[in-house]
Structure 1
Amino acid sequence: MITVEHLAKAVGEEKMPVLQDVGFQLEPGELVAVLGGSGSGKSTLLRCLALREKWDRGNFRVDGTDIFGNVFTGKRKIRREWAYLEQNAELNPNRTALKNVLIGQSAQTPLWRMVTGMVRSDDYMGAMDELDALGLLDKAKMKTSQLSGGERQRVAIARALTHGAKVILADEPVTGLDPKSAENVMETLRRLCKETGLIVVTVLPIELAERFATRIWVLEDGRIKHDVKGRRLTVKERMNL
């Protein structure tokens, strides 16, 4: 379980508030879509949860661990078990898609593997399975510098899944994808949430949020104004989106 209480974040010399008193609980298997207009705090929320941004105030507990109360253990848990996917995927452009998936992020990968590049056959097959599920099997041996933006994003998702991420924070993961590819990505994430207990919190277009999310947050002025089950939003809930 993930519990956030009173999360606040301000930016700039004038300390303009971006997030104000945000709180929620998340259970395994939830796929949460974050919606909101420009400047509502969507990306900042994901960056705070990934500890890419320092919180000004708030409590953060994951599976009983007080993330800020035990800084070393808490931050290590987030870095090893959570994956943060930016709009522009963080990949090594000189490695193939397969190598990017296998080597992964430094916090998730043993030092010997990062140095030697060696992998076990089971890991190899698991990575190929994830690439196949995301429609990238024919791109496995291509350098990521040769892939489109949407393809690189899917490689980043495959990497997170291969390394056993328990939580994925994804900032607009289907931007730049054609409609079919976007649906494939969301169907894969929804299936994994249901089958493995994966938690996904992602910024999505409203039409995909209504179709695939189990829960929808609508942010306004740095607060979660609406927190509803995944469904078609009402006219009131859609205001300012």
Structure 2
Amino acid sequence: MDYTDLLIKLGLSAILGFAIGLERELKRKPLGLKTCLVISIISCLLTIVSIKAAYNLPHTDHMNMDPLRLAAQIVSGIGFLGAGVILRRGNDSIAGLTTAAMIWGASGIGIAVGAGFYIEAIFGMCFLMISVELIPLAMKYVGPRSFRQRDIAVKLVVRNMDNIPIVIEEIKEMDIKVKNMKLKTLENGSHYLHLKLSIDQKRHTADVYYALQHLESVQQTEVESM
């Protein structure tokens, strides 16, 4: 058995998995270095085992093994791990979709290396990093305005119903877009507003909180980044 080829495959899958894990780790995402290394290396190993078992084990005329049968199950099984990093926050926003996709990507790269597609795996890794890092950065400068904005969740308590349209107009005058609004009447007669606002990415959340807190009709303010 040629162990050099085995070491090259496992080593390359570890390097590419490390790059994906490092990108997630630097962004403080749930998928870290160790998890990504394990996914990439073990996906590569299982692919190697699947291929070698198909060609090295004895066959009969009535039974032939699919060389990628075991590797195909990796793609299905990795979905459970990806589902574990997708979170629904209290403000109804969904987080972790990119991280879940990166888990799937790390597995795919490991499978490609294990099957001997080194160049394809390296190019796939390069395009993956470009898609995740460089393209979103470029779109902030040359894309529509929405790429340069981010969402925040705001909870306000307003004294009376007549003041709600005034508060909304004052928010719009701050160059803030109101994307969604929920209303609720409290027991004391005040009114609760749950707003989803879109602001410039460079604008600090604390600045928005300070501006909303000083609106005349607002009794209480709570601001949360999404």
Tell me which interval the TM-score lies in, with the shorter structure as reference length. Answer: under 0.3
TM-score, structure 1 normalization: 0.21
Bigger RCO of structures 1 and 2 (CA < 8 A, at least 6 apart): 1
TM-score, structure 2 normalization: 0.22
Greater strand share, structure number? 1
Greater helix share, structure number? 2
